[in-house]
Structure 1
């Protein structure tokens, strides 16, 4: 009896090459930037006193890792940033859903909310320090304030721009208000809400670093400020690079969460 032809498994090599090429394409601009950073001071295009080569910054970064300073300061910043960010999400998303659902309330509060949205958080930093002191409370509070408004406005916009066809279909099925929220409003609002959440994630780190430069004893902002004050320029840039890496990693984490929550959506086809 003739044997059946064996099915050949698709080769793994093309898949690996595709992943490598994709990664190389996405990181090409960063590699060029780091190469320019390394060469410009060495060829005298910029003063290496104020912009040392990237290799010196990498050595300073590793020294900060080895002596534990980077971990301690990064931990302090992350605890403050994530605490403020988490509080802002927990408050702004439910509040935005409520305001967006009741249009008269949204119209009434919109002018006041616009005032808060357009008042820079850092402009209010002296007020937070006066009212709450220079401790942890003022730093976390300024992060909450900075993160709350983009999340709130995007959540309100998400509810108010849900496809009317979906709402009509849901109402034709006699869904109750809670079920309408659960089955239609929330799933359709996820992408727009996460736009605000991702924006708030970036804001939480930027605002906190600036706040840590005033009266802080630990944190990446404190590390950068202290390094600049002591003219430890490589350490200063090491702190800046660390903030950038944390920001990118945080954004990618939020993108992954968004994709998981939006997995039900079917991509549009032409």
Structure 2
């Protein structure tokens, strides 16, 4: 019983410490415009932004754009996971595949995704395909490179011990290489999750008729400043939600890992 209470207190105090900086930031945001430390026209108080956010939720305008963005973001991220993890495992485990593919991968991984946005739009148009494709491209590289790195940095002692026990190549891969690579793979997925939001928002600002990036651009052009900040806060919340979801999945599959 005492141990349970101690754990609860630890979690509560950790949550308080973790949210202290956010509370201070919100307090400064609210007071700075009201004390004329910044121009309230361009940075309205947080309370006005939250009021505008709530009105957008009630009207359905925010939900419509939120749905468009999250579908594009998650679709591109899932496609990148399905493509990059098997390819990264193959490159990291089989040297002949690495020799063949490494030059091409080096060429494309050093190309910024947003630099290719005009190409995606020209070839695929301004519809959903181009948005999902640019997210797929941006998310592929962190997952792929971290997967390759995870496979190549498996402790050699683990591999030698497994071989000494008579494990064949397939069982060695499934029981030793893959589980040991999971932390690095999930690091890549979390980095890709952040990229999926950032790249998508930029793409929506350039050419889209819906989405949070489009919404922010629209409100900025129409000088709806509180609504613009409401869209920005929604993007931050979306990124946080995706990251926390990935952390929970990582804990589920990497429960054996010591912190």
Shared topology, TM-score over 0.5? yes
Partner in structure 2 of residue 100 of structure 1: 92
Q: Counterparts of 1:1-270 in structure 2 under 5 Å?
A: 9-10=1-2, 15-266=7-258
CA distance in 1, matches of 2:12, 2:141: 39
User: After TM superposition, where is structure 1 displaced by more than 6 Å over at least 4 residues in a row?
Assistant: none
Q: Secondary structure at the match of 2:179?
A: helix
CA distance in 2, matches of 1:109, 1:227: 44
CA distance in 1, matches of 2:116, 2:257: 40
Q: Secondary structure at the match of 1:213?
A: helix
The alignment's TM-score, normalised by the length of structure 2, stands at 0.95
CA distance in 2, matches of 1:13, 1:80: 43
Instruction: Give 1:172 shift.
Output: 1.4
CA distance in 2, matches of 1:11, 1:110: 52
Q: Say which structure is richer in helix.
A: 2
Q: Secondary structure at the match of 2:206?
A: coil
Instruction: Give 1:21 shift.
Output: 1.8
Instruction: Give 1:11 shift.
Output: 8.4
More moved, 83-92 vs 115-124: 115-124
Deviations 1:116-145 (A, max 9, x none): 112110111000000100000000000000
Q: Secondary structure at the match of 2:55?
A: helix
Q: Secondary structure at the match of 2:68?
A: helix
Instruction: Give 1:246 shift.
Output: 1.0
Number of aligned residue pairs? 259
Instruction: Give 1:12 shift.
Output: 6.5
Instruction: Give 1:10 shift.
Output: 3.2
Q: Secondary structure at the match of 1:218?
A: coil
Unaligned runs of 5+ in 1: 1-8
Instruction: Give 1:15 shift.
Output: 4.9
RMSD after superposition: 1.5
**Whose radius of gyration is greater, 1 or 2?**
1
CA distance in 1, matches of 2:161, 2:136: 38
Instruction: Give 1:205 shift.
Output: 0.6
Instruction: Give 1:13 shift.
Output: 5.7
Unaligned runs of 5+ in 2: none
CA distance in 2, matches of 1:98, 1:223: 41
